[in-house]
Amino acid sequence: MNPSDDKILAPYTSLFVRPEDVASEHIKSVVGLSMEAADVQIQVMMVTDAFNMLKVRYKKGSSIPEHSHDDHSTAGYLVSGRLRHFIGGTEFVAEPGMSWQHPRGVPHRHDTLEDSVTIEIKSPAYRTW
């Protein structure tokens, strides 16, 4: 399945991006599922023709509902905090320095155990919020 044109992000023309130059966006949904009770902020740090890179801040107690993506895969890296992940029927607690992936079509969700910061890479460069 190909992502719809309105969900594909346009590549950045800049070769370098400073975090203070990227707006932070509070998101209220993921793939159409409500996240009204969650406090999640994202910054789209880089977009290329092959992927996007997001910096995501999760407040303690925020939960991301179970969902899957048939149009892209995601790799994540935990910079700080702790997250309880459920990916394809497997549960684990991510601590700083750990990585994970959400392959295409695999159901996943997570609970935020502590204020957390992640770096996520989505391929292709796809907007899920």
Per-residue pLDDT of the chain in tens (129 residues, 90 and over written 9): 344 567 889 999 999 999 999 999 999 888 888 888 899 999 999 999 999 999 999 999 999 999 999 989 999 999 999 999 999 999 999 999 999 999 999 999 999 999 999 999 999 998 888
Q: What is the pTM of this model?
A: 0.90
Rounded to whole angstroms, how far apart are CA atoms 19 and 22?
A: 5
Any domain includes 128 = no
DSSP letter, residue 50: S
Rounded to whole angstroms, how far apart are CA atoms 47 and 8?
A: 10
Cis ω before 124 (30° cut-off from 0): yes
CATH number of the domain that 32 lies in?
2.60.120.10
Any domain includes 34 = yes
Any domain includes 63 = yes
Instruction: Rounding to the nearest 10 degrees, give the CA dihedral for residues 56, 123, 18, 109.
Output: 0
Any domain includes 118 = yes
- What range defines the domain where residue 98 resides? 5-123
Tally of domains in the chain: 1
Any domain includes 117 = yes
Any domain includes 75 = yes
Any domain includes 74 = yes
Cross-strand partners of 80: 117
How far does CA 48 lie from the centroid of its chain? 16
